[in-house]
Structures are given as C-alpha cells and as structure tokens.
Amino acid sequence: MWDPYTVSPTRKLESVQRRAARYILWVGIGARLVYIDAMLTQLEWEPLAARRRTARLVLFYKIHNGWVTIPMPLLLKLHPLPTRTENSQSYHIPISSRDYHLHSFYPQTVRDWNILPEAVVMATSSVTLKDSISQ
C-alpha cells in the first residue's frame, strides 16, 4: 500500500479525489466556487489519508491477531489495563533515525494503534474495527 508522508505527493493524490468528485457531481462552470468539502460530504467520501490510515490499522489488526501469514516483528508492552495514553494492546514503537523508516508501515501504524480506544483494539472482527475507526 502506497502511503506518502510528504506534502507534495499527498496533495497530488488528494487532488485526484477532488477532481473525481467534481466530475461525478459535474458542477460545470462554477466548479471552482463550490466547496470541495461539501461535495466530498455529499458523496460520503472520506479523505484519502483517512482511508489509508484505516486500511493500515485493519491490516495491523489482522497481523496482531494472526489472521494473515505475516509475522509480527514487534513486542507488546503488556499493560495489564489501558493507561491514560495507551490501550492494553500497545506495542513498542520501533526506533527510527531516517524519515523513510519513521513513516513506514510499522512505526507509523503502531503510533496510531497505541492511541486507539480499548474497545476498538478489542474488536471481535476486522469489520467491527474498521467501522469503529471510520466513525
């Protein structure tokens, strides 16, 4: 899954979704005057960055539960109960000295995973997890 972390590729990717929204709703001559956020809301489209985050978290959930044949290279922190800032299923964040590693799948996803509410990480299915994240 391609998930850019720099501003330029992210803007280019989001612009594709914005152009698609304008095309689907075909707002015509006044296209630049209509708020794109209103169009995205009308179409019920999440921003692409949010969709990529949800996809990363769902894949991580499947790895965490052993539902895919990808080994988990990280260690659980083993909190007996959730803390004020982390859930009971939190992982140690891999140390990164380079931006490309800092923003790669595991470091980026673990940061997002660790702050999810306890009820979300304890979901019984990936569909339930996805629905909880998307709300």
Helix 48-64 and helix 7-25: axis angle, to 10°?
Answer: 110
Residues 22-73 pLDDT 10s: 888 876 555 555 688 888 888 989 888 889 999 999 999 999 999 999 999 9
Structure confidence at residue 105 (pLDDT): 92
Structure confidence at residue 47 (pLDDT): 87
Over residues 3-27, the mean pLDDT reads 83
Pair of tokens at residue 68? 């895919």
Beta-carbon neighbour count of residue 60 at 10 Å? 23
Structure confidence at residue 27 (pLDDT): 62
Structure confidence at residue 113 (pLDDT): 96
Q: Do residues 82 and 100 make contact, with C-beta atoms less than 8 angstroms apart?
A: no
pTM of the predicted model as reported, rounded to 2 decimal places: 0.83
- The answer to whether residue 3 scores a pLDDT higher than 60 is yes
Coil, helix or strand for 91? strand
**Cα distance between residue 122 and residue 3, in whole Å:** 26
Structure confidence at residue 10 (pLDDT): 83
Residue keyed to tokens 């209103």:
38
Residues 68-87 pLDDT 10s: 999 999 999 988 888 889 99
Pair of tokens at residue 46? 């999440």
